Amino acid sequence: MPRILMTGASGGIGTSLRKLLPPIYPDLLLSDLKAPADLGRGEKFKAADLANMAEVEAICEGVDGIIHFGGYSVEGPWDAILQSNIIGCYNLFEAAHKKGVKRIVFASSNHAVGFYPRYHRIGTDVTPRPDSRYGVSKAFGEAVGALYADKHGMKVTCIRIGNFGDKPLDHRRLSIWLKPEDLVQLCRIGLEHPDIHFEIFYGASNNERSWWDNHRAIDLGYRPTGRAEDFREHAFAEQAKLKPDPVGDFYQGGTFCGMEFDGDKKRIIDLK
């Protein structure tokens, strides 16, 4: 069986996948800045700071594939994003190349394209329209992935994750919800499918309200089992508790678009 490294093991997504991946990849190595508080006796963990190349090279040693969920997972100050998501992402790809890692699944984000209006259905080949410094870092990661695929022959899959969790939590997330088991499916395609060179998938389940054309993932065997509409009443009830956001409610990136926004709101009215 291949040895798979998963970074970001202490984060929200990593914590969920720690339970779902071992039956598929028994030789799973976990990494993060600090070990998960509930690390099991049978789990293998090696700490690493993504901004430290030597530490990243150490966790890539002897690895066949990487699921890269490490880094700063929300919007934040530039220096934090720079160290974790820009320098850290480059270090991960470069260390993987040096150590002969064959495949990387990179956790990109819907925030790499967050400034597309919600009425605009988009594919994976659109120009990035990041909604935040965090979104910029994910667009950077996709570009680095393409470089290492085209120049060095690494098989790279970028997943623009929507909203990961057990159920969609509001109206927006009915369009972008991703069931944990469906993310596992997408990761397996990236780690195992023979036709992978460089791919971008949307990390979304079977959502009737989706803004995204995910046909390439479907072509490669993705069959999502989650249905956002099964949670429609819950999502609308939670939406009713939220205050209107004239910017975030218009764009796909939601609140990430509205925070720090001092652009032309009249343009949004005109686009509507």
Instruction: Please answer whether residues 196 and 189 qualify as being in contact, where contact means their C-beta atoms are separated by less than 8 angstroms.
Output: yes
Instruction: Please answer whether residues 224 and 214 qualify as being in contact, where contact means their C-beta atoms are separated by less than 8 angstroms.
Output: no
Instruction: Please answer whether residues 171 and 239 qualify as being in contact, where contact means their C-beta atoms are separated by less than 8 angstroms.
Output: yes
For tokens 């002897």, what's the residue? Answer: 62
Q: Exactly one of 134, 148, 202, 251 is catalytic; which is it?
A: 134
- Is 134 a known active-site residue? yes
**What single DSSP character describes residue 252?**
T
3-state class (DSSP) for residue 154: coil
Q: Which residues contact 55 (CB under 8 A, 6 or more apart)?
A: 47, 48, 49
Q: In this structure, is the dihedral angle defined by the CA atoms of residues 224, 8, 126 and 148, taken in order, positive or negative?
A: negative
Alpha carbons 212 and 199: distance in angstroms, whole number:
15
Alpha carbons 149 and 156: distance in angstroms, whole number:
6
Residue 220 — φ and ψ, nearest 5°? Answer: -95, 10
The distance from CA 106 to its chain's CA centroid, rounded to whole angstroms, is 7
Q: Where in the sequence numbering do the catalytic residues fall?
A: 134
